[in-house]
């Protein structure tokens, strides 16, 4: 008689079902209830919301830790659920950290599961969404945890520019654990006490530098969306975060070899814009919100603004024109007169580089008086940061279309993408003003001596400003020099952009071979 008799298949399947049920319970009922009491969903509930019904395929379901130190309990899955599924019919990989299992902490196996998701996603060219909810490096696994983070960070970097990476911040993130989200393309963070991210928490902050600050004031969603710029989208709740991720994906190709997804929006590219003249005042000193123009310009007014609450003097985001995805970079005079500061330059440069990496054409809408002057900006490195925009636009090989709607002065004129920097087509409205600097500044420099010696300097100043404005406060001087392809009526802007996108669809532009460039950081 055999010592071990293999049970029949039905018994084996029953055993498997029992085990899977155990897996599905995560850290157990008590922990799940505690998770819910904080207003948080579990990792499985989140994945269920994220993926098309029944489409999720789990991998490394039974993987568990090899460590035994500090009586470490073994849990199937090791605190992270990994796999792929469909979102609106498209294949997407995901991992969701399970806070009910060892606080979602990251040890050796947990990390290797995330790495495996990335390896597969890179092989097949599909995006990765990471739902982060973790106490950070698993203390019991010591240096293995840190090594695990290193492996995850490396995969984030290997995947950068190859497949889109989206992070949903759905719990705490402290210490180095914040850096995997930071290495991805977009961070969506949920509002509320249960969600925060910082390198050093309030307790250590108090002990080390004597500063008292709450969790939310140090690392909540609002702080990161308005002050640090770490967060790209703020979600009202968990469901909202999932919705934002899905909406974002709808604008993105699955990888850098694909075009962004075309969508039949039923909004004609040749459509005339209505009432734009009343949105954009011709008086250059009157601020207006550029988003009112953008909503008018894009298909059905649908614009997904990125970094909406940070560096609002520049507006960036995704929309469609005639069904084709575009990335829009626009100065917003409603904030700091639309001048470019260090944060605006960083925001724009990162967005431009993302669009270029993923074949998304760029539209610049220009209305800027220049870079912000003063010691604050100079000390913070406006030279270094401002250079990022120049670098990003010059480096980009996607179609680049510029429309100058009003002021376009100095370095900022160049930074918003002009012909010599590599713009493919440049248009201007009749309200455009293109010059090295604003009228008063220019006159004070050009006529310094005359103004010093004049009997009535104010009159002379006015007269010279008027002369200067006559020459440069229009697009024609630049158009005569061949710097503007056409001066267009505002109502034709969408039509012109739509046609430009069509002609530039098969644009080819080549670069010298190199390992990588050295963007000023
Ligand atoms: C192991 C951890 C853990 C961790 C939490 N847990 N974090 N286990 N390693 N890092 C466990 C807890 O022991 C607890 O287990 C369970 O998860 C739930 O945690 P609670 O503390 O009960 O939850 P909560 O009150 O919500 O507090 C969440 C928390 C807190 C604020 C995140 O758990 C915490 O401070 N954790 C430690 C954070 C930390 O210092 N991490 C290392 C950061 S440095 P039981 O069994 O009691 O339920 C880092 C370096 C990365 O990450 C370096 C990368 C280069």
Alpha helices (H) in 175-325, listed in sequence order? 179-183, 202-209, 215-219, 221-223, 238-249, 276-279, 290-297
Q: Can you tell me the distance from the alpha carbon of 152 to that of 35, in angstroms, rounded to the nearest whole number?
A: 25
Question: Does the beta carbon of 173 sit less than 6 angstroms from any atom of ligand 1?
Answer: no
Q: Is residue 1 over pLDDT 80?
A: no
pLDDT at 77: 96
Q: What's the CA-to-centroid distance between 136 and ligand 1, angstroms?
A: 6
Q: Can you tell me the distance from the alpha carbon of 300 to that of 512, in angstroms, rounded to the nearest whole number?
A: 40
Q: What percent of the chain has pLDDT over 90?
A: 95
411 labelled catalytic: yes
* Closest atom of ligand 1 to CA, residue 153: 55
Q: Can you tell me the distance from the alpha carbon of 67 to that of 64, in angstroms, rounded to the nearest whole number?
A: 9
**What is the per-residue pLDDT across 44-94, written as a single tens digit (0 to 9) for each?**
999 999 999 999 999 999 999 999 999 898 999 999 999 999 999 999 999
Q: Can you tell me the distance from the alpha carbon of 304 to that of 116, in angstroms, rounded to the nearest whole number?
A: 31
For the residues 401-424, what does the mean pLDDT come to? 97
Q: Which of 176, 201, 323, 441 does the annotation list as catalytic? A: 176
Nearest CA to ligand 1 atom 41: 136
pLDDT at 177: 87
Ramachandran region, residue 79 (left: φ > 0; alpha: ψ -120 to 50; beta: rest): left
For the record, the structure tokens of 235 come out as 């979600």
For the record, the structure tokens of 323 come out as 């069904």
Q: Can you tell me the distance from the alpha carbon of 32 to that of 355, in angstroms, rounded to the nearest whole number?
A: 40
pLDDT at 38: 95
* Closest atom of ligand 1 to CA, residue 104: 17
Nearest CA to ligand 1 atom 7: 135
User: What angle separates helix 142-159 from helix 108-124, to the nearest 10 degrees?
Assistant: 10
Ramachandran region, residue 268 (left: φ > 0; alpha: ψ -120 to 50; beta: rest): beta
- Residue 325 phi/psi, 5-degree rounding, is -70, 135
Nearest by Cα to 397 from 355, 344, 345: 355
Q: What's the CA-to-centroid distance between 158 and ligand 1, angstroms?
A: 28
pTM of the model: 0.96
pLDDT at 307: 98
* Closest atom of ligand 1 to CA, residue 31: 48
Nearest CA to ligand 1 atom 18: 103
Q: Which of 125, 161, 175, 201 does the annotation list as catalytic? A: 175
Q: What is the mean pLDDT of the chain?
A: 96
Residues 6+ apart with CB under 8 A from 76: 19, 22, 23, 61, 62, 63, 64
CA separation, residue 500 to residues 278, 330, 496 (Å):
25, 18, 6
Question: Does the beta carbon of 105 sit less than 6 angstroms from any atom of ligand 1?
Answer: yes
Secondary structure of 144-173 as H, E, C letters: HHHHHHHHHHHHHHHHCCCCCEEEEECCEE
**What is the per-residue pLDDT across 148-204, written as a single tens digit (0 to 9) for each?**
999 999 999 999 999 999 999 999 998 888 999 999 999 999 999 999 999 999 999
Nearest by Cα to 338 from 275, 233, 413: 413
Question: Does the beta carbon of 402 sit less than 6 angstroms from any atom of ligand 1?
Answer: no
Which residue out of 110, 136, 199 has the highest number of ligand 1 atoms within 8 Å of its CB and is therefore the one to mutate?
A: 136
Nearest by Cα to 500 from 402, 390, 413: 402
**What is the per-residue pLDDT across 443-482, written as a single tens digit (0 to 9) for each?**
999 999 999 999 999 999 999 999 998 888 899 999 999 9
pLDDT at 175: 85
Residues 6+ apart with CB under 8 A from 14: none
């Amino acid at each position: 008689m055999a010592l071990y008799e293999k049970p029949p298949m039905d018994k084996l399947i029953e055993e498997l079902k029992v085990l899977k049920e155990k897996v599905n319970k995560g850290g157990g009922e008590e922990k799940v209830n505690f998770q819910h009491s904080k207003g948080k969903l579990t990792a499985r509930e989140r994945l269920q919301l994220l993926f098309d019904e029944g489409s999720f395929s789990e991998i490394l379901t039974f993987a568990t830790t090899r460590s035994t130190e500090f009586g470490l309990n073994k849990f199937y899955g090791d605190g992270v659920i990994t796999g792929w599924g469909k979102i609106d019919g498209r294949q997407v990989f995901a991992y969701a950290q399970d806070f009910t299992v060892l606080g979602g902490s990251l040890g050796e196996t947990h990390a290797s599961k995330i790495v495996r998701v990335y390896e597969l996603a890179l092989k097949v060219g599909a995006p990765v969404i990471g739902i982060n909810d973790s106490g950070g490096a698993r203390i019991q696994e010591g240096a293995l945890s840190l090594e695990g983070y290193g492996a995850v960070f490396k995969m984030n970097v290997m995947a950068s520019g190859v497949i889109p990476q989206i992070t949903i911040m759905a719990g705490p993130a402290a210490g180095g654990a914040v850096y995997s989200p930071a290495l991805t393309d977009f961070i969506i963070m949920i509002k509320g006490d249960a969600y925060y991210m910082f390198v050093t928490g309030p307790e250590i902050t108090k002990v080390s530098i004597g500063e008292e600050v709450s969790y939310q004031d140090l690392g909540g969603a609002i702080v990161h969306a308005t002050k640090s710029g770490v967060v790209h989208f703020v979600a009202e709740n968990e469901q909202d975060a999932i919705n934002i991720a899905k909406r974002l994906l709808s604008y993105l190709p699955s990888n850098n070899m694909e075009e962004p997804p075309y969508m039949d929006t039923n909004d004609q590219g040749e459509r005339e814009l209505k009432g734009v003249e009343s949105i954009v005042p011709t008086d250059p000193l009157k601020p207006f919100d550029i988003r009112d123009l953008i909503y008018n310009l894009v298909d059905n007014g649908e614009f997904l603004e990125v970094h909406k609450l940070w560096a609002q003097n520049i507006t960036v985001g995704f929309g469609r024109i005639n069904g084709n995805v575009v990335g829009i970079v626009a100065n917003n005079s409603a904030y700091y007169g639309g001048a470019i500061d260090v944060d605006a330059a960083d925001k724009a440069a990162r967005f431009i580089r993302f669009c270029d990496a993923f074949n998304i054409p760029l539209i610049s809408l220009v209305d800027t008086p220049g870079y912000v002057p003063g010691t604050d900006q100079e000390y913070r490195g406006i030279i270094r940061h401002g250079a990022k925009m120049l670098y990003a636009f010059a480096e980009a090989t996607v179609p680049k279309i510029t429309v100058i709607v009003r002021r376009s002065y100095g370095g900022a004129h160049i930074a918003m993408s002009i012909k010599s920097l590599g713009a493919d087509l440049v248009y201007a409205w009749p309200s455009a003003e293109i010059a090295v600097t604003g009228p008063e500044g220019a006159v004070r420099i050009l006529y310094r001596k005359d103004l010093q010696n004049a009997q009535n300097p104010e009159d002379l100043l006015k007269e010279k400003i008027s002369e200067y404005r006559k020459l440069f406060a229009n697009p024609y001087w630049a158009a005569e020099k061949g710097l503007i392809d056409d001066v267009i009526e505002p109502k034709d802007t969408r039509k012109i952009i739509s046609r430009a996108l069509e002609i530039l669809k098969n644009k080819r532009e080549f670069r010298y071979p190199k390992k990588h460039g050295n963007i000023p950081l």
